[in-house]
Amino acid sequence: MTTLIQYINPECSNESTTKIFTPASTTVTTATATTTRIMLCVMIAAALLGLSNGFLIPERPEFTKREIATVPSIDAPKYMGRWYQMYTNTFGETFNGKDQHCVMADYKLMNATTLSVFNSGKLGSPTGDWRQIEGSATQISPAEPGKFQLYLEYVPFPGTYWVIKLGPIKNDQYQYSVVTSSDGSQLYVLTRDVSEFNLYEKEILDFVAEKGFTEDATKPIFTPHEANCPYVDKKQPNILDELIDEIMG
């Protein structure tokens, strides 16, 4: 199933140009989607966003906005593959859910500047509710290789994905990554191997503290990875896709 994930043309013309991401492929194609499906997607997403803002997501906490320097270089193929989230923060939980467990991210290179993103995990415990979201990230400029524009399915606005620290390379892969947003609010600490994360944990926590992730809203929150975490590759059905398909008949 093809999933709309990126953006609606700001002019909102009848023939809106929309990037379409096919999860099973490694290419991004541009196509003209029907206005009906686009508008259904936008209306449902906006309704869900409104509910989240009004009832589920608390008022945005205060924090010190700051621009954190990104990595000067990144070898894209070495960044691809499976990652495990070891830390997030309150801003990360606000977007992805509180009490996260077994969170993982899968990245695949789509072209020289774009990678596909698939994040998944459990809420509450390894047997809790499954959560997933997919999308893509595109490098903003070759001059700043660690800065990416992030597009997630049915989110009506882009986000930012800034790589601010990378670990050593082992088995042709970076061993950890520290990611934030452009304003320094969100925090994601990723590792390749949960069992070896302790080798880098102090170094990483010292780094994020130095970069100002020390306030209540930004300080690191540990993401547990229990022995019974269900690290599955199969994606669950997308409820919003199914709802739109049902409406469209």
| Cα(166)–Cα(99) distance, integer angstroms | 26
The structural domains of the chain, with segments of one domain joined by +, span 3-58+234-248, 76-222
Reported as a single tens digit per residue, the pLDDT across 196-248 is 999 999 999 999 999 999 999 999 999 999 999 998 775 666 555 555 566 66
| Cα(144)–Cα(71) distance, integer angstroms | 8
Q: In what helix (H) or strand (E) does residue 39 lie, and over which residues does it extend?
A: helix 35-51
3-class DSSP assignment, residue 106: strand
What is 76-222's CATH superfamily?
Answer: Calycin beta-barrel core domain (2.40.128.20)
The pTM of the full predicted model, rounded to 2 decimals, is 0.75
Are the CB atoms for 98 and 111 separated by under 8 Å? no
Instruction: Tell me how many degrees the CA angle 57-155-5 measures, rounded to the nearest 5.
Output: 155
Reported as a single tens digit per residue, the pLDDT across 12-49 is 333 333 333 333 333 344 344 445 555 555 554 444 44
| Cα(111)–Cα(143) distance, integer angstroms | 17
Task: Over range 100-128, report the average pLDDT.
Answer: 95
Reported as a single tens digit per residue, the pLDDT across 71-99 is 999 999 999 999 999 999 999 888 778 89
